[in-house]
Amino acid sequence: MNGYKISVILPTYNRLEFIEDTINSIMNQTYKDFEIVIADDGSTDGTDSYIEELKAKNDNIIYDKAVHSGICNARNRAINLSGGDYLFFIDSDDFIHPMLFERMIDAVKKTGSAMASEYFCEVNSKSIKEKMSGFEKEMADKDFIYRNANQTVYDYFHKSPIDMIGGLLVNKDFAKNIKFDDRFIIGEDKLYVYYCVKNNADYVIIPQKWYYNRIHKGNVSWDYSRKALLSRYMRRKTVWLSELELKRNENAVLQIEQGFSFLIEHFLRNKNLKELAFLSHIVKKDRKYFKLLKNKKHRILVFLISYFNPLLLFERNEKEFAVWKKSGLY
């Protein structure tokens, strides 16, 4: 397996209480040809002192700290600093099974796949120690499932092991022109995966739940702000526009359904006229797409929202829309 060096892409921001578990799970890998590239997004909780101490003891750690500018910039910095043949993505509050790298490299070596992934398991603080102590019980045969480029496209738009970037192994040369888009604060990882899929990636599945996704109150998935809503919606719009251009209309409709569902959920969560006006401001731009919605109730509701007059109630905030106007998405 010589020549298959893994660069672990590890962005972090104020995750000192979790990152030790993350790094230990990497250091304990049975496959040893790896480096850990840690991009610190301006942590203020003592992360730098902890990492510098680790770095002094381990020559396979690269550490770069910069001012806080978001996870996309952190990941892009880490990629630029990496020197491996493959990129492996992990969040600084998650951890992995000790045999994951070994299995992934074996699978991509046998198939030449652009990517590899595994299933993920959600864990909370109470179950983490139990999971870690039970690793030896989860050993399995060196099996994997190969998915060609067309199958990978299907998997992306349906629940699959490439549903998230945590635990994804990507051939660095294959992804050399793909970067994280810093317009997005949520969903930027799935957009990166989409660009890989669009670039005709194939992949292999390690059929074990060997990526452990830690659930806690600090997860960005709990962000329901307007800015987060726009990020979720515009990510899906980016994908559906691309899929319509590629004439893969069925995939586009799935993204349109999800995008408008987020708008409806946002209103139901807030249930006030100002938020209705805010949503109307978004939907008016995309009237021609909601006609493709298969859910009749959603189609009617979005239609009504689009014709709601926001002029008296909507407090226009140019900062919320400026980045999307520049991109042409809004």
Cα–Cα distance, 163 to 152 (Å, whole number):
11
> 281, 239 in Cβ contact below 8 A?
no
> 192, 165 in Cβ contact below 8 A?
yes
Confidence of residue 130 (pLDDT cuts 50, 70, 90): low
Structure tokens at 102: 């070994």
Residue 35, classed as helix, strand or coil, is strand
The DSSP output letter for 29 is -
pLDDT of residue 134: 59
For residue 316, is pLDDT > 70? no
Structure tokens at 89: 């993505």
Q: What is the mean pLDDT of residues 104-118?
A: 97
User: What radius of gyration, in Å, describes the C-alpha atoms of the chain?
Assistant: 21
For residue 224, is pLDDT > 90? no
pLDDT of residue 313: 53
Cα–Cα distance, 330 to 325 (Å, whole number):
5
Q: What is the pTM of this model?
A: 0.92
Beta-carbon count within 10 A of 79 CB: 21
Structure tokens at 61: 């750690």
What does the mean pLDDT of the chain come to? 89
Structure tokens at 311: 């002029």
Of 91, 21, 23, which Cα lies nearest the Cα of 54? 23
Structure tokens at 153: 């496209």
Confidence of residue 62 (pLDDT cuts 50, 70, 90): very high
pLDDT of residue 137: 52
Confidence of residue 210 (pLDDT cuts 50, 70, 90): very high
The DSSP output letter for 222 is G
For residue 257, is pLDDT > 60? yes
Of 85, 111, 96, which Cα lies nearest the Cα of 205? 111
Check residues 82 and 272 and name the one with the higher pLDDT. 82
φ, ψ for residue 111 (rounded to 5)? -110, -20
Q: What is the mean pLDDT of residues 146-158?
A: 97
Percentage of the chain exceeding pLDDT 90: 66
pLDDT tens readout for residues 278-291: 888 888 888 889 88
Cα–Cα distance, 161 to 163 (Å, whole number):
5
For residue 305, is pLDDT > 50? yes
Cβ-in-10-Å burial (0-12, 13-18, 19+) of 3 comes to exposed
For residue 160, is pLDDT > 80? yes
Percentage of the chain exceeding pLDDT 70: 89
Q: What is the mean pLDDT of residues 104-124?
A: 94
Residue 69, classed as helix, strand or coil, is coil
Of 96, 119, 113, which Cα lies nearest the Cα of 171? 113
